[in-house]
Amino acid sequence: MDPAAASAPAPKLLLIDDDPDIASLLSRYLQANGFRTVSAASAAQARASLDDSVDLVLLDLGLPDEDGLSLLRHLQGAWRGPVIVVSGRGEAVERVVGLELGADDYVSKPFDLRELLARIRSVLRRAAPAPAPAPAGHCLEFGGYRLDLPARRLSDGAGQEVALTTGEFELLRALAERPREVLSRDQLMNRVHGRNAGPFDRAIDVGIGRLRRKIETDPAAPQLIKSVRGAGYVLAVEVRRA
């Protein structure tokens, strides 16, 4: 075992939920499975508790002092780590809005603790930076963009960073590593979220929409990421390894 890895602190999770019973249950369960946790019962407490030591946020949408979606919007602007929404609001529109605002996953209450644990570990694995320095060929260039895989960074032709969430990065990476090949929603869901897409799961469609708004000249008429009716999505340009 790498001595540095052995001495690294356990991942720290910020649990934002105003239900003390749920917060206590989650905290005990996650600590028993190797995580550090800190809890916040309101948006104000969450803002005060969030710092660079937090590795992932579990966010309930029903907070007493601020709508959870508003807090999620703040997190996407003020913090670069992954967010999993854990909410009793199970309506499809809430899931879609949460994903549109940049959540990396969405779990509805009531939830299975083992499934939630698996999703947390999956998101943290995707968010972990690759070792540096980057070996040759670990950057993908396409359509005027450069995707640095070890640094998990996308930059445009002028070298300016295009901010991506963890899910957006993995989705773009999946497409860029198999250019001009149509990938189904299930293939992309497995790559990005580690599971198959359900019949009403729009996480991939939402993620594609977010990516198009960030990298397409005209998101309504995409030239890079194209839809293939009934089949999935394709990165429709050549990709060069640099």
Structure confidence by residue, pLDDT tens digits, 121-163: 988 887 776 544 445 558 999 999 999 998 889 999 899 999 9
Verify that 107 and 148 share a domain, yes or no: no
Give the number of other CB atoms < 10 A from CB of residue 88. Answer: 14
Burial class (CB in 10 A: 0-12, 13-18, 19+), 21: exposed
Q: Which residues of the chain have pLDDT under 50?
A: 1-5, 131-134, 199-200
* CATH number of the domain to which 144 belongs: 1.10.10.10
Residue 196's pLDDT is what? 55
Alpha-carbon distances, residue 10 vs 13, 34, 86 (angstroms): 10, 6, 21
Q: What is the pLDDT of residues 72-91, one digit of tens each?
A: 888 877 887 899 998 876 56
Residues 64 and 177 in one domain: no
Residues 153 and 56 both lie in one domain: no
Same domain as 123, residue 181: no
Structure tokens at 14: 């910020």
Picking from 127, 160, 178, the residue at the C-terminal end of a domain is 127
Beta bridge partners of 240: 141
Q: What local confidence, expressed as pLDDT, does residue 33 receive? A: 96
Do residues 109 and 21 share a domain? yes
Domain boundary pick from 92, 127, 162: 127
Residue 115's domain spans which residues?
Answer: 3-127
Judgement on whether residues 120 and 8 belong to the same structural domain of the protein: yes
Are 117 and 23 part of one and the same domain? yes
Inter-CA distances, 87 with 94, 119, 170, 180, 201, Å: 9, 15, 24, 37, 16
